[in-house]
Amino acid sequence: MKFKTLVRPLLVATAAVGATAVAQPAAKPSPEGVATAAQNVIIDRALLTAFKALPSRFEDAKNPITAEKVELGRMLYFDTRLSKNQDLSCNSCHDLNTFGVDNKPTSTGHKKQLGGRNSPTVYNAGGHTTQFWDGRAANLEEQAKGPILNPVEMAMPSADHVVATIKSIPGYVTAFQKSFPGEADPVTYDNLAKAIGAFERQLVTPSRFDKFLGGDDKALTQVEKAGLKTFLDQGCQTCHYGPALGGSLQKLGLVVPYQAKDQGRFDLTKKESDRMVFRVPTLRNVAKTGPWFHDGSITELQTAVKLMAQHQLGKQLTDTDAKQILAFLDSLTGELPKGYIAKPKLPPSGPKTPKPDPT
Amino acid sequence: MKFKTLVRPLLVATAAVGATAVAQPAAKPSPEGVATAAQNVIIDRALLTAFKALPSRFEDAKNPITAEKVELGRMLYFDTRLSKNQDLSCNSCHDLNTFGVDNKPTSTGHKKQLGGRNSPTVYNAGGHTTQFWDGRAANLEEQAKGPILNPVEMAMPSADHVVATIKSIPGYVTAFQKSFPGEADPVTYDNLAKAIGAFERQLVTPSRFDKFLGGDDKALTQVEKAGLKTFLDQGCQTCHYGPALGGSLQKLGLVVPYQAKDQGRFDLTKKESDRMVFRVPTLRNVAKTGPWFHDGSITELQTAVKLMAQHQLGKQLTDTDAKQILAFLDSLTGELPKGYIAKPKLPPSGPKTPKPDPT
């Protein structure tokens, strides 16, 4: 997906309707400047029911959160001993200091191998209804198991090898016992995933938009409100809804087909109905999580916004409209949870802990 | 919105992309018959996260449900004494025996006046994020207050008059006392709305689709699954999501403008961004709740399905695809809650209860 897609002639669907068409906000001439357009913007709050304010954390009854589990999950999240060459942790590609991403098109894994898709942010990922770009994991716990064993990511040879590594580190054995009390053999790959999941469920980044959703009209600037209005007018919320403003599966190219080698969920399931189906990315912190799209091919957020309007809604956004939407997206940049970002002290290796394996 | 809209030439957006476009399920030739198409259909369950199975009832912390409140609400729902001429109840237009609607384009109110919009079903309405076609009420309790006082509907002159009527009926005074214990003056218009809302929160109609969502692959027939697949392929779930498969506000004519005198939420708020914004109708029991659309102008469900694909997604559905979707929609026809449908025994009027007023 290169820039040529943006400039190829698009036969806008509305052109077919003729002069008697109902006036559409998208079609009316926009004011020349974003600032000019942003006078006295009033948002109809009923339209905001598509969204939800972020919870303080994303609970799941199947993995009750405890302080012990969160602390264990945090250590595991930062521990490079979960990778074959002990040079990669979850945090390598989903860096908590940089809004949960690495800001690369695709990430560098074991032996500098490049992954096929852009690393999605871990922040607010508990608000997705499905995980990975192709939705191949149902929840964070299931997701956590993937990259550790993926040969082009952390490349551990097997779940058993991961468990043996953890068991060789006495501090971890104690932490697993505390996190999963009453279990005869608490150090399992499933429990490791539960601990990481419990930690990730804490990673929410409330922003001014949440205050606005809560009723504080002044939490957004006039320009941001103008952008929100444009966002709603265009219909972006049909896919970017919920607490994460995204997170469900949708077809990329719903109205105007999107050409790409990566066919999304189809490449996983080989079902025709999954062709070009991808998980809708969260818009939380989207201004900070570029480059954008599943392949990280889009380096300007404004381009991403215009391409989405074109392929998902069959609309051509003006620069003014796109810039207003960018202003709104800025209001989704939230506060990082300071207590969780720094790398914690990790338990020291034992005599049997494997050494880094660069092969 | 007449049939001519359907046959006017639509410049399908995908036509602009040319021969190199990614193949789209919508564009590929469909098998000649629905039955032929429905061999061994496998649904990708990850795509179903857009939906939710119906709960046993729609709870709301602001209006805790008790048996007393539900029974009171049920009586009020059926009581024609809440209308000026004592000839209309909530059930007149939202008939529980006929899937919560009256099957008329628009309903007949006080003095045979016609309403402006089609009566939406009361079943599963607790699953909407907003109430009325234009979303002017935030919840069922707020909604219940509207039609009683609307001059073209039940036409009661004031909330005070409603309260005085209720207070004149001794059996109701007792029922309000039991439903709102500890309140010094429990017969209020707000409490009346709470009782009706509590009753309506029970009105859910689970169907075979809920069993399917719960994991039972055999709950849908092959033809219904083919229809569900088409529904998902086209992207209908971008608006028809959640437990009610609908219920949020969206623009009618998101891709191709829709021409109608009724401008939806704009007529209420006069905000340009609300032009043509309507509440997305639930698809629960949709096969039984025609005629369709906000003005009840569409008398064939297949036409409604095709118009939606055209105006919301810029797509022309084949007859086969539309028929498959109809088959899926049939699976959303649920079981009516038998215990609530029949008109309950109503408390007799007292000496001061107003008489019918036909003026």
Question: What chain A residue is nearest to B280 in terms of C-alpha separation?
Answer: A238
Residue B38: the pLDDT is 55
Q: How far is A140 from chain B (nearest CA, A)?
A: 14
* CB B219, CB B209: distance < 8 Å: yes
* CB A123, CB A116: distance < 8 Å: no
Residue A36: pLDDT over 90: no
More confident residue, B29 or B58: B58
How far apart CA B147 and CA B89 sit, in angstroms, is 9
Residue A129: pLDDT over 50: yes
Q: Which of B1, B49, B259, B262 to mutate to test the interface with A (most CBs of A within 10 A)?
A: B49
More confident residue, A5 or B255: B255
Question: What chain A residue is nearest to B135 in terms of C-alpha separation?
Answer: A46
The answer to whether B75 is annotated as binding is no
Query: Catalytic pick from B153, B272, B300, B335?
Result: B153
Residue A24: pLDDT over 60: no
B249 neighbourhood in chain A, CB within 8 Å: 46-47, 49-50
Say whether B237 sits in a helix, a strand or coil.
helix
Q: How far is A139 from chain B (nearest CA, A)?
A: 11
Confidence label for A272 from pLDDT (cuts 50, 70 and 90): confident
CB contact under 8 A, B249 and A49: yes
The answer to whether B90 is annotated as binding is yes
Residue B297: the pLDDT is 96
What ipTM goes with this model? 0.73
B9 neighbourhood in chain A, CB within 8 Å: 16
CB count, 10 Å around CB of A352? 10
Residue A38: the pLDDT is 55
Confidence label for B8 from pLDDT (cuts 50, 70 and 90): very low
Q: Which of B50, B130, B314 sits opposite A49 (nearest CB)?
A: B130
Query: Catalytic pick from A32, A141, A142, A153?
Result: A153
B132-160 residue pLDDT tens: 999 999 999 999 999 999 999 999 999 99
Residue B342: pLDDT over 80: yes
- CA B58 to chain CA centroid, Å, is 14
Q: Is A153 a catalytic residue?
A: yes
Number of residues that this document lists for chain B: 359
Q: What are the residues facing A194 on neighbouring strands?
A: none
Residue B105: pLDDT over 50: yes
* CB A102, CB A88: distance < 8 Å: no
CB contact under 8 A, A313 and B254: yes
Task: Compute φ and ψ for A222, nearest 5 degrees.
Answer: -60, -40
CB contact under 8 A, B23 and A135: no
Residue A83: pLDDT over 60: yes
B54-98 residue pLDDT tens: 999 999 999 999 999 999 999 999 999 999 999 999 999 999 999
More confident residue, A3 or A304: A304
* CB A113, CB A91: distance < 8 Å: no
The answer to whether B294 is annotated as binding is no
Residue A297: pLDDT over 90: yes
Q: Which of B17, B46, B238 sits opposite A130 (nearest CB)?
A: B46
Q: Calculate the average pLDDT of chain A.
A: 90
Say whether B292 sits in a helix, a strand or coil.
strand
B171-228 residue pLDDT tens: 999 999 999 999 999 999 999 999 999 999 999 999 999 999 999 999 999 999 999 9
B233 neighbourhood in chain A, CB within 8 Å: 251, 273
The answer to whether A161 is annotated as binding is no
A43 neighbourhood in chain B, CB within 8 Å: 273
Q: How far is A348 from chain B (nearest CA, A)?
A: 40
How far apart CA B81 and CA B94 sit, in angstroms, is 16
Residue B243: the pLDDT is 96
More confident residue, A10 or A217: A217
Say whether B250 sits in a helix, a strand or coil.
strand
Q: Which tokens sit at A181? A: 């009390």
Residue B17: pLDDT over 70: no
Over range B156-174, report the average pLDDT: 98
Residue B3: pLDDT over 70: no
Residue A30: the pLDDT is 39
Q: Which tokens sit at A106? A: 């695709």
Q: Which of A249, A265, A311 to mutate to test the interface with B (most CBs of B within 10 A)?
A: A249
Q: What are the structural domain ranges in chain A?
A: 4-56+206-330, 67-204
Residue B9: pLDDT over 70: no
Q: Which tokens sit at B141? A: 């309790």
Residue B173: the pLDDT is 98
Q: How far is A161 from chain B (nearest CA, A)?
A: 30
How far apart CA A197 and CA A126 sit, in angstroms, is 9
CATH of domain A4-56+206-330: 1.10.760.10
CB contact under 8 A, A22 and B253: yes
CB contact under 8 A, A254 and B238: yes
Q: Calculate the average pLDDT of chain B.
A: 90
B281-322 residue pLDDT tens: 999 999 999 999 999 999 999 999 999 999 999 999 999 999
Over range A164-171, report the average pLDDT: 98
Match 């008790």 to its residue by tokens: B66
Over range B99-106, report the average pLDDT: 97
- Whole-angstrom CA distances from A28 to A23, A25, B169 are 7, 5, 57
Tell me whether residue A148 is exposed, middle or buried, using C-beta atoms within 10 angstroms of its C-beta: 0 to 12, 13 to 18, 19 or more: buried
| Equal CATH topology for B4-56+206-330 and B67-204 | yes
CB contact under 8 A, B22 and A259: yes
Residue B201: the pLDDT is 98
Residue B272: the pLDDT is 83
Instruction: Please list, residue by residue across B249-266, b when 16 or more beta carbons sit within 10 angstroms of its beta carbon and e when fewer do.
Output: bbbbbbbbbbbbebbbbb
A85-127 residue pLDDT tens: 999 999 999 999 999 999 999 999 999 999 999 999 999 999 9
Residue A308: the pLDDT is 97
CB contact under 8 A, A13 and B12: yes
Q: Which of A19-28, B158-167, B274-283 has the lowest mean pLDDT?
A: A19-28
Q: Which tokens sit at A343? A: 């790398």
- At residue B19's C-alpha, the angle toward residues B18 and B20, to 5°, is 95
Q: Is it true that domain B67-204 has CATH number 3.90.76.10?
A: no
